[in-house]
Amino acid sequence: MLKKISGILALLIGIFLVYLMVWPVPIDPVAWNAPPNPGYTGPFAENNILADIETLSIGDNHGPEDFAQDEAGRIYAATHEGIIVRLQPDGSGPENWAETGGRPLGSEFDKTGNLILVDALRGLLSISSDGEVTVLTDTADGIPISYADDVDVAADGKVYFSDASTKFPAESGSNEPSVLDIIEHGGHGRLLMYDPATEQTKVLVKGLNFANGVAVSHDQQYVLVCETGSYRVLKHWIAGPQKGQTEPFIENLPGFPDNISTGRNGRFWLAFFAPRNALLDKLSNKPFFRKVIQRLPNLIKPKAAVYGHIIALDTSGNVIKNFQDPNTKYPKNTSVMETDQYLYIGSLTAPVAARLSKVKAGF
């Protein structure tokens, strides 16, 4: 009897090993060499400054990915439910202001008072002051915009935004496409520009590994775009003698960069979704084993660690602010919006919004 049981177990183990070796998966991983993780040292030294955040109600919604502020000082949060929640200038009185019918992510007001936002499922949208939603564009170079992620509006009205992955379209209620794109590292992301004067959409940069946050520089000379899967932020010149060129702005970050935004006094704010994963880095140049990881049951797959982290960068890409909370109850930070008094911090999953007093943060 024992011999029979052992034989059955051996057969099951053999079947499982074959499954791990050959079962089809949607990714075709590309070998690359992840840079050594700097960890939480030097300019990223661990602290708990983000533990001083206060939370704000967003009603029955959750996942306030990004924030925007209108001329009256009111705060707008893009939520998982597809609803844009409007808060009063003091952070009170949440109300469901508009609904996109998809999953709104990055947002920014233009000079005419329209809320320009990207919806992962619908593309680039504009919402008028009365809540009317218009699709501005959902294709670029004949290719559908399948994962619109973040956006910024330049002083001349041009809209710069990211298409995170042309291979793995966004799906409502799941971050699986982002995981697939990052594990594959196949360069399916794009930086795009929409010109409202011509209603044309142009591809500025392609081949990015999960194109994410977008921010136009204070002097309007370049656009920053986060390349989440490569732990870095790139600078793409849109004016001057280097126009059209792309170069690193900051590399080898200790986590997965999400959205980036222009702040006050020349600052850029960058939020980290999660710390880097040691196993994923170790397997960066081993495509076969990344396929094996993808075949593992969800219960035992590597998971993103819970860690609160945002930083500020100067115009040279140097870290000038570093706010963390290793034990955060407000996880998966996605964005930062700076106002006169606060830093509003986004989250992919939280049932509330959060902000950090600049006085408490020491600046």
Percent pLDDT > 70 in the chain is 93
Which residue in this structure is represented by tokens 């469901």?
Answer: 96
CA 195 to chain centre: 23
Which residue in this structure is represented by tokens 């570093």?
Answer: 322
pLDDT of residue 316: 98
Average of per-residue pLDDT across 63-72: 97
Task: Give φ, ψ of 270 to 5 degrees.
Answer: -130, 130
Average pLDDT, the chain: 94
CA–CA distance, 362 with 110 (Å, rounded to integer)? 31
Q: pLDDT by residue (tens digit) across 14-44? A: 555 554 555 678 999 999 999 999 999 999 9
Q: Quickly state the pLDDT bin for 2 (edges 50, 70, 90).
A: low
Average of per-residue pLDDT across 194-216: 98
Do the Cβ atoms of 236 and 311 come closer than 8 Å?
A: no
Q: pLDDT by residue (tens digit) across 289-302? A: 999 989 888 888 88
Domains detected in the chain: 2-357 (2.120.10.30)
Radius of gyration of the chain (CA): 21
SS3 44: helix
Q: Quickly state the pLDDT bin for 225 (edges 50, 70, 90).
A: very high
Angstrom distances, CA of residue 147 to CA of 18, 52, 118, 211: 34, 33, 9, 9
Which residue in this structure is represented by tokens 């775009």?
Answer: 225
CA–CA distance, 308 with 272 (Å, rounded to integer)? 7
Q: Quickly state the pLDDT bin for 330 (edges 50, 70, 90).
A: very high
What distance separates the 2 farthest-apart alpha carbons in the chain? 80
Q: pLDDT by residue (tens digit) across 128-182? A: 999 999 999 999 999 999 999 999 999 999 999 999 999 999 984 445 899 999 9
Give ∠ CA 154-249-302 in degrees, rounded to 5.
105
Do the Cβ atoms of 213 and 261 come closer than 8 Å?
A: yes
DSSP codes, 169-237: --BTTB-HHHHHHHHHT---EEEEEEETTTTEEEEEEEEESSEEEEEE-TTSSEEEEEEGGGTEEEEEE
CA–CA distance, 248 with 234 (Å, rounded to integer)? 4
119 pLDDT more than 80: yes
Candidates 127, 56, 70, 61; CA nearest to 96 is 61
Do the Cβ atoms of 270 and 313 come closer than 8 Å?
A: yes
CA–CA distance, 273 with 54 (Å, rounded to integer)? 19
260 pLDDT more than 90: yes
SS3 67: strand
pLDDT of residue 208: 98
HSE toward the beta carbon, residue 265, CA cutoff 13 A: 8
DSSP for residue 174:
B
348 pLDDT more than 50: yes
32 Cβ neighbours under 8 A, 6+ residues apart? 185, 230, 284, 285
SS3 63: coil
Candidates 136, 139, 81; CA nearest to 108 is 136
9 pLDDT more than 70: no
